């Protein structure tokens, strides 16, 4: 019996998706294209971009860390403007598995930040490199992004570059996302409070995958992705209403 003809587990997770579409946990299978250089475009007035990049990085790491027991450090590089506009990482708010592994680099100039990113990717003891750059600096041209891509692919250290308030300029990033915060699902005990963080992520350019839009959510053990349309169809959650409505139409309530 030819086992390779059977659908893989990942293909069974989302039955409606063709196998070639992006889905969470792609790093887990060696034959799928693992994007080592991703760019996340987001507004500097929210932390959705950084959080989504972290979630993507965690999703990428969870696939690999099972095999290796050692915990590698994570390098987080920020330039001056992004630090002022978007703040610095706050340890009590970081995901639990990253808190003790973070090394923060506060670069004053964009050139220094790019140098730090490249040095980080050359380091074999880093799990991934996260960068934050604000705007479209002159130093970050196509050549610079190409350097970053090559360094990431040569050494196998993934780079997630968050671009705050940036235009979609030319870049050699393997995956480019546009991210904004999405309304969170109401928590169970206090529906008036903000719930589990959700992000609306649009993959607008990727080398190996067609573009698409997802609502992403990190539930602590894995990254959940659903299509925005599915979410709209399912929400609002009328569970309680349906019970009280009985056989009547919901519109009658």
CB of 153 to other proteins, least distance (A): 13
Q: How far is CA 67 from CA 110, 122, 144, 197, in A?
A: 36, 21, 33, 29
CB of 125 to other proteins, least distance (A): 4
Least separation in angstroms between CB 107 and other proteins: 6
**CB-wise, 2 or 67, nearer to other proteins?**
67
Query: Counting contacts by CB under 8 A, is residue 249 touching other proteins?
Result: no
Interacting residue with other proteins among 8, 87, 136, 244 (CB under 8 A): 87
User: Per DSSP, what are the bridge partners of residue 39?
Assistant: 161, 176
Q: Which of residues 38-67 bind other proteins (CB under 8 A)?
A: 45-48, 50-51, 54
Segment 22 to 41, residues that bind other proteins, using CB under 8 A: none
Binding residues with other proteins: total (CB under 8 A) = 53
Integer CA distances (angstroms), 160 to 67, 107, 202, in order: 22, 17, 15
Q: Is 115 in the site for other proteins (CB under 8 A)?
A: yes
Nearer to other proteins, 87 or 210 (CB): 87
Question: CA 116 → CA 5, 109, 121, distances in Å?
Answer: 44, 11, 9
Segment near other proteins (CB under 8 A), from 109-117, 201-209, 229-237, 239-247? Answer: 109-117
Phi, psi values for residue 162, rounded to 5° = -95, 125
> Which helix (H) or strand (E) is 52 found in, with range?
helix 48-65
CA angle (71, 99, 120) in 5-degree steps: 60
Q: 7, 92, 239, 246: which one contacts other proteins (CB under 8 A)?
A: 92
Q: Which of 14, 33, 64, 73 binds other proteins (CB under 8 A)?
A: 73
108: Cβ contacts below 8 Å, ≥ 6 apart? 79, 80
User: In Å, how far from its chain's centre is CA 20?
Assistant: 19
Whole-angstrom Cα Rg for the chain: 20
Residue 243 neighbours by CB under 8 Å, 6+ apart: none
CB of 212 to other proteins, least distance (A): 19
Site for other proteins contains 104 (CB under 8 A) = yes
Contacts to other proteins from residues 169-228, by CB under 8 A: 180-184, 186, 190, 192-195, 197-198, 200
Asked if residue 37 lies in contact with residue 152, where contact means CB atoms within 8 angstroms, the answer is: yes
**Residues interacting with other proteins, by CB under 8 A?**
45-48, 50-51, 54, 73, 83-84, 86-94, 100, 102-108, 112, 115-116, 119-120, 122-126, 155, 157, 180-184, 186, 190, 192-195, 197-198, 200
């Amino acid at each position: 019996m030819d086992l390779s003809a059977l659908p893989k587990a990942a293909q069974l997770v989302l039955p409606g998706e063709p196998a070639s579409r992006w889905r969470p946990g792609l790093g887990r299978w060696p034959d799928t294209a693992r994007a080592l250089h991703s760019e996340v475009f987001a507004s500097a007035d929210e932390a959705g971009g950084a959080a989504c990049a972290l979630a993507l990085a965690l999703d990428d790491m969870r696939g690999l860390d099972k095999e290796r027991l050692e915990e590698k450090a994570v390098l987080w590089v920020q330039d001056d403007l992004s630090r002022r506009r978007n703040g610095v990482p706050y340890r009590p708010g970081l995901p639990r598995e990253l808190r003790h592994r973070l090394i923060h680099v506060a670069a004053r100039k964009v050139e220094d930040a790019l140098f730090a990113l490249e040095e980080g990717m050359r380091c074999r003891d880093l799990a991934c490199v996260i960068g934050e750059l604000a705007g479209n600096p002159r130093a970050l041209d196509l050549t610079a992004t190409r350097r970053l891509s090559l360094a990431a692919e040569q050494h196998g250290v993934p780079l997630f570059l968050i671009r705050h308030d940036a235009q979609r300029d030319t870049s050699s990033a393997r995956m480019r996302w546009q991210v904004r915060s999405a309304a969170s699902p109401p928590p169970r005990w206090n529906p008036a409070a903000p719930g589990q963080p959700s992000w609306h992520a649009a993959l607008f350019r990727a080398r190996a995958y067609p573009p698409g839009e997802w609502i992403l959510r990190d539930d602590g053990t894995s990254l959940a992705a659903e299509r925005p349309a599915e979410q709209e169809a399912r929400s609002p959650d009328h569970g309680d209403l349906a019970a009280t409505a009985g056989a009547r139409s919901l519109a009658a309530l």
